[in-house]
Amino acid sequence: MLDIRLFRENPDQVKERLATRGMDGSAVDEVLALDGKRRETVSRTEALKATRNQISKEIPQRAKAGESIDELKEQSRQIGEEIATLDGVLRDIDEELRLQLLSLPNLPHGDAPIGEDESGNKLVRSWGEPIKHPFAAKAHWDLGDALGFLDLPRGAKVSGSGFYVLKGIGARLERALISWLLDVNTTKNGYTECSVPFVVSPDSLTGTGNLPKFEDQLYKVPLDNLYLIPTAEVPLTNLWAGEILDSADLPIAVCAHTPCFRREAGAAGRENRGISRVHQFHKVELVHLTTPEESAATHEKLVGHACGLLEELGVPYRVVELCTGDLGFGATKCYDLEIWAPGMETWLEVSSCSNFGDFQARRANIRYRPDGKGKPQFVHTLNGSGLALPRLMISLLENNQREDGSIAIPKVLQDRVGASEIRA
């Protein structure tokens, strides 16, 4: 959520920066109009309430003095009716204003590259060379089928298209990766591992920015008014919702492995064969809460952690900074890590490392007290995958396939998997 003060003090700047995301300025004007109406109404009701409070104070005094209080009571009652009417109006305005503000994306950071869509993204750096096999590389679905570790048809039978089943060494590889990722992130990168709920409240989703705008991307449990998490970012970030942290508590760095549930509405069919875009997948997520001063440096550190994981696994990658038009809803600045899948012949996004500034903190009301005293301030939140399983597995499988149809397992995983290769 954006600070309403920005709109009042510098509406043109807000418009300009939203324009770099491809938005027109009408939303800004609407917010300003509502805000004006709100303040006017608040002033009126508060004046009435002050009068009523005054009268209520007089009543016992007059009663003690033996004077009549009927007139005052009637007066107060009438003011009460006026207040009730105005309060109703105010509630409507507040709700509308809140919805407007919650529906506006974050302002891109000043040094995010300007651009309309992904073609405007900037290659920051790359590590390793994309693998080119001297033979006809198979896509992971063919590898999985031939070697029997991936069963897409049965996933579809059980739950519908977009769900997959791993069997035998496939399942074991997934589990090994999850535990390896958690181990590296906790022991080497300094994150505290958390085990969190996979089902969350609407408030939590509003806090991270998934609601109210992206409800159609979420699986809902209507009976209990809960949603399945699209990422561990939601429970992890909301762990501190509504709290005022001590500055000594910061920075906070946590990670969690969770399944992620995404409806991926509008993505059915087309280019989504295999497991590159599915409704349920496993992911290890990294989340930081920090001060505004530290957030930029923390962002770089976060990207470094995600990159380090790929390097240890020997997966070539490139880092792309998203341009203003491609930036996610709540992000001010974002780096995507992409890995090459030689079978699919495409780059896959395995990690999206975003700095949200105080956007989420404002929504979730997460504050801290600088130096342990003074006014509470909003923290900055950041998160990134470390890493997303299916795409990582795609790249490992397709990169490490051999001409004879077998697949090598990276050294760092061999003990956990209990094998050095996958073979029919």
- Please identify which of the residues 17, 172, 263, 277 carries the catalytic annotation: 277
With respect to RNA, which residue has the nearer C-beta, 43 or 420? 43
Q: Which of 352, 354, 385, 395 is catalytic?
A: 352
Q: Is 271 marked active-site?
A: no
Angle of the 70-103 helix axis to the 26-64 helix axis, nearest 10: 160
Q: Which of 351, 391, 395, 398 is catalytic?
A: 391
**Of 201, 20, 36, residue with least CA distance to 111:** 20
CB of 326 closer than 8 Å to CB of 286: no
Residue numbers 96-155 binding RNA by CB under 7 A: none
**Binding marks (x or -) toward RNA, 219..258, rule CB under 7 A?**
-------------------------x--------------
CB closer to RNA, 44 vs 416: 44
CA distance 262 to 60: 61
Alpha carbons 8 and 39: distance in angstroms, whole number: 12
Q: How far apart are CA 180 and CA 24, in angstroms?
A: 46
- Peptide bond just before 212 cis, omega within 30 deg: yes
Mapping DSSP to helix (H, G, I), strand (E, B) and coil, where does residue 97 land? helix
Question: What is the footprint of RNA within residues 66-105 (CB under 7 A)?
Answer: 72-73, 76-77, 80
Structure tokens at 325: 């038009």
Strand order in the sheet with 220-221: 199-200, 226-228, 220-221
Q: Please tell me the distance from the alpha carbon of residue 75 to that of residue 52, in angstroms, as a whole number.
A: 8
Q: Which is nearer to RNA, 73 or 154 (by Cβ)?
A: 73
> Among residues 262, 263, 362, 367, which one is catalytic?
262
The candidate with the shortest Cα–Cα distance to 134, out of 405, 421, 402, 422, is 402
d(CA 160, CA 27): 39
Q: Is residue 254 within 8 Å of 383, Cβ to Cβ?
A: no
Give the binding range for RNA (CB under 7 A) out of 186-194, 248-256, 327-335, 369-377: 369-377
Q: Say which of 215, 294, 349, 416 is annotated catalytic.
A: 349
Among residues 33 and 63, whose Cβ is nearest to RNA?
Answer: 63
**Residue 39 among the catalytic residues:** no
* DSSP assigned state of 421: E
Q: How far is the CB of 268 from RNA (least distance, A)?
A: 35
- Contact 232/285 with Cβ under 8 angstroms? yes
How many residues form the binding site for RNA (CB under 7 A)? 28
Q: Which of 411, 412, 398 is nearest to 147 (CA)?
A: 398
The nearer residue to RNA, 90 or 284, going by C-beta atoms, is 90
Query: Residue 80 CB, nearest distance to RNA (Å)?
Result: 4
Q: Does 56 bind RNA (CB under 7 A)?
A: yes
Nearer to RNA, 5 or 132 (CB): 5
Active site (annotated) includes residue 262: yes
Q: How open is the CA angle 397-399-405, to the nearest 5 degrees?
A: 65
Pick from 6, 19, 55, 250 the residue near RNA by CB under 7 A: 55
User: Distance between CA atoms of 135 and 184, rounded to whole angstroms?
Assistant: 34
- The yes-or-no answer on residue 98 being catalytic is no
Site for RNA in 33-52 (CB under 7 A): 39, 42-43, 45-47, 49-50, 52
| Residue choice 10, 53, 85, 420 for contact with RNA (CB under 7 A) | 53
Residue choice 57, 66, 111, 134 for contact with RNA (CB under 7 A): 57
Shortest Å distance, C-beta 40 to RNA: 7
Of 76 and 399, nearer to RNA (C-beta) is 76
DSSP character string of 18-45: HHTTT--THHHHHHHHHHHHHHHHHHHH
Active-site residue, 349 included: yes
Contacts to RNA by CB under 7 A: 4, 39, 42-43, 45-47, 49-50, 52-57, 59-60, 63, 72-73, 76-77, 80, 244, 372-373, 375-376
**Which residues belong to the active site?**
262, 277, 349, 352, 391
